[in-house]
Amino acid sequence: MPILGVNIDHVATIRQARYREVPDSPNASPDPVEAALIAEQAGAKGITAHLREDRRHIQDRDILRLREKITTKLNLEMGASEEIARIALEIIPDDVCLVPENRREVTTEGGLNCADQLDELRPLVARLKGRGIRVSLFIDPDEAQIEAAAELGADFVEIHTGAYANAAGSGAELKRLITAAGLAVAAGLRVNAGHGLNYHNLRPVLAMSGLEELNIGHSIVSRAVIVGMAEAVREMCSIIAEA
C-alpha cells in the first residue's frame, strides 16, 4: 500500500498572504511546521515542502524547523538551483524531488524535462546522492523522461498526475499513468505520484504499478479549512487504505 506524503506549501501560502513583510511577527500564522506535525499524528508518513527561489511560500527557517521536528521523513522539492542545492546539502533531507520552476506559475505545472537537461542534472543528482539523499525526478508520464531519469541514476520518479486530474480522471490519462509506472519499474526506478490528486480522483491512480508514495497538498489543505488538518489527513489515508 502506498504511503501518504502531505505537502504543506499551501499552509505557508496562507501565512505569507498576511505576514510576508513581517516574517518574524509573533502573530504569523498558520505555522506550516505545526501543520506538518498534526499531519504526522493523523497518519501521514512523510512531509513535502517546496523551497522556491522566490520564497513565495515556504521559507528557509521552515525547512530548518521541519528537519528538526518531524519524525517521519522530509521530502524537499526544489528546482535545479545552486542556491537551493547548497541548502539541501546542508540540512540533508531524506528525499529531494527535483521539479521545474517558473516564477510566473502559481504552482508547478508540468514535469521536469530530464531528457533535454541531462548534462545539467547529472552532477546535481550525483552530489545529492553522494550525501545519502534519495533523489526523485518529477516527470510527466512519458517514456523518454523515464529513460532519462534512469540514465541520471535517480532513485525515484514522481509521476505528474496533473493532466489526469485536469481531464477529470479520463480513462486515456489514467492509462498513460499506469503505462508510465510500469515502464519506470521495468527501468529499475521506484514510483511516486502527485499533483492535482484529491478525495474524488485518487482511487483509480492506486492501480499504478509499484506505487510507493502519493504526495498530496492542495486538496488536503483545502479540506483542512473545513474539517481541520487531522481529519483531512485521516480521510485521505482512509481512501488509500480502503483501495
User: Residue 76: its pLDDT value, please?
Assistant: 98
Residue 72 C-alpha from the chain's centroid: 15
pTM, 2 dp: 0.95
**What structural domains does the chain harbor?**
3-242 (3.20.20.70)
Closest C-alpha among 125, 176, 113, 182 to residue 155: 125
Tell me the average confidence (pLDDT) per consecutive run of 10 residues in the chain, 243 residues long.
97 95 87 98 98 96 98 97 97 98 63 95 98 98 98 98 89 96 98 97 96 98 98 98 89
**Exposure string (b/e) for 106-115, b if CB count within 10 Å is 16 or more?**
ebbebbbebb
- Taken in order 107, 109, 112, 117, the sign of the CA dihedral is negative
Q: What was the pLDDT predicted at 170?
A: 77
| pLDDT for the residue numbered 25 | 86
Q: Catalytic positions, please?
A: 50, 77, 195
Nearest to 161 by CA among 184, 111, 195: 195
Would you state the pLDDT for residue 92? 98
Give the CA radius of gyration of the chain.
Answer: 17
Nearest to residue 211, comparing CAs of 166, 173, 157, 164? 157
